[in-house]
């Protein structure tokens, strides 16, 4: 065991008053404390902090995701990140839903990575995808109603410049899941890229997913320039809730797409 003698702290030998260099030392210490605090606020929390302290997932899934009291195991979940996020937003059974205001997409990505999910995910994602949907659409007696969504991608505050691929090699993947947990397969969706007036059409596959590809142009918003970066999606949905997840993918190596951004929203039709 090591002990530090008090005399080594150099408190002796200051004759009377508070000398100028001591004062500047105190100011320096305060400044240091301030910088440390503001740095800590921007630092990325650990998966354990988010899972245990912030979101309380441990109450039902155990402190390490091992499944508490016969509950569901989350460790090494076979779900892809987009399905994991879809489930947390719109659970189909007993679990209470977590809205983005309670658990951000970045926080869910951090938790997913900490749980050692099956998909290799960099967390937090380098790109934030903000999705804003129109107010609950009404079917008015029809089978479905059109819902439109605004989509803005921007570099996350926590991202290092080296984590952000050039915009030209970024593309979107759209995933739609029903409130029963089923993929919205073969579902038609329209897309309007940022700064354009024309719409293009695509259809989801059997997993409720569609790749929009790098050529569909992801525009990253700069501060104060969100208008120019606003893309749009629209689709006809049946009554009920639908989970929408939009990821930004790095197409630099097309055979090995990397998820670099994620955003989610619940779309409502009455
Ligand atoms: C009040 C209890 C409760 C809380 C809190 C809770 N869950 Fe769940 N979760 C469940 C139950 C129960 C299931 C099993 C399916 C169901 O009944 O919805 C489940 C299922 C899941 C699934 C689907 C697993 C699969 O393999 O299909 C995921 C993912 C999940 N939870 C993630 C989370 C995360 C992340 C949090 C924290 C933000 C969380 N849960 C908080 C109770 C909870």
Ligand 1 pocket test target in 95, 103, 105, 117 with most atoms within 8 Å of CB: 95
In this prediction, residue 37 has a pLDDT band, given cuts at 50, 70 and 90, of very low
Q: Is 216 or 187 the better-scoring residue by pLDDT?
A: 187
What average pLDDT does range 131-137 have in this prediction?
A: 87
Q: Are strands 240-250 and 170-178 parallel, antiparallel or unpaired?
A: antiparallel
What average pLDDT does range 38-53 have in this prediction?
A: 77
How far, in Å, is the centroid of ligand 1 from the Cα of 48?
Answer: 16
In this prediction, residue 263 has a pLDDT band, given cuts at 50, 70 and 90, of very high
C-alpha span between 132 and 109 (Å, rounded): 20
DSSP string, the chain: -----GGGG--S---SS--HHHHHHHHHHHHHHHHHHHHHHHSPPPHHIIIIIIS-THHHH-TTSS-STT----TT-SS-HHHHHHHHHS-SSSSPP--TTTS-HHHHHHHHHHTT-SS---SS-SEEEEEEEPS-B--TTSS-EEEEEEEEEEE-TT--GGGS--GGGEEEEEEEEETTS-B-TT-EEEEE-TT----EEEE--TTSEEE--GGG---EEPTT-TGGG-EEEEEEE-SEEEEEEEEEEE-SSTTS-EEEEEEEEEEEE-
Ligand 1 pocket test target in 59, 60, 86 with most atoms within 8 Å of CB: 60
The full set of domains in the chain, from first to last, is 45-124 (1.10.760.10), 125-270 (2.60.40.10)
User: Which residue, among 233, 216, 264, 220, has the nearest Cα to 82 in the 3D structure?
Assistant: 264
Q: Is 244 or 9 the better-scoring residue by pLDDT?
A: 244
Contacts of 223 (CB under 8 A, 6+ apart): none
What average pLDDT does range 103-121 have in this prediction?
A: 96
Top-ranked range on mean pLDDT: pick from 30-39, 42-51, 124-133: 124-133
Ligand 1 site, residue 55, Cβ cutoff 6 A: yes
How far, in Å, is the centroid of ligand 1 from the Cα of 117?
Answer: 14
What pLDDT does 26 receive? 52
What pLDDT does 111 receive? 98
Note whether 129 and 248 are within 8 A (CB): yes
How far, in Å, is the centroid of ligand 1 from the Cα of 225?
Answer: 38
Note whether 126 and 163 are within 8 A (CB): yes
Note whether 27 and 40 are within 8 A (CB): no
pLDDT(23) > 60: no
- Each residue's pLDDT tens digit, 215-249: 888 999 987 778 889 999 999 999 999 999 999 99
What pLDDT does 169 receive? 93
Ligand 1 pocket test target in 45, 48, 72 with most atoms within 8 Å of CB: 72
């Amino acid at each position: 065991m090591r002990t530090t003698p008090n005399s080594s702290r150099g408190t002796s030998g200051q004759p009377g008053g508070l000398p100028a260099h001591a004062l500047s030392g105190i100011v320096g210490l305060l400044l240091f404390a301030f910088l440390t605090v503001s740095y800590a606020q921007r630092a990325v929390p650990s998966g354990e902090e988010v899972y245990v302290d912030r979101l309380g997932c441990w109450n039902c899934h155990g402190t390490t995701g091992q499944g508490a009291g016969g509950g569901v195991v989350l460790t090494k979940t076979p779900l892809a990140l987009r399905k994991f996020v879809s489930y947390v937003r719109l659970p189909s059974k007993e679990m209470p839903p977590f809205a983005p205001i309670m658990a951000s997409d970045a926080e869910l990505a951090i938790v997913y990575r900490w749980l050692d999910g099956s998909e290799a995910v960099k967390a937090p994602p380098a790109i934030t995808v903000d999705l804003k949907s129109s107010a609950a659409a009404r079917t008015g007696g029809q089978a479905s109603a059109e819902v439109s969504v605004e989509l803005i991608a921007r570099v996350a505050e926590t991202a290092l410049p080296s984590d952000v691929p050039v915009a030209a090699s970024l593309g979107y993947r759209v995933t739609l899941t029903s409130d029963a947990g089923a993929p919205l397969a073969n579902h038609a969706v329209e897309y309007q890229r940022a700064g354009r007036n024309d719409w293009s059409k695509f259809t989801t596959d059997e997993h409720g997913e569609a790749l929009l590809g790098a050529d569909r142009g992801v525009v990253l918003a700069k501060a104060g320039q969100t208008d120019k970066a606003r893309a749009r999606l629209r689709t006809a949905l049946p009554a009920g809730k639908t989970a929408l997840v939009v990821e930004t993918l790095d197409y630099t190596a097309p055979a090995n797409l990397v998820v670099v951004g994620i955003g989610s929203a619940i779309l409502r039709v009455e």
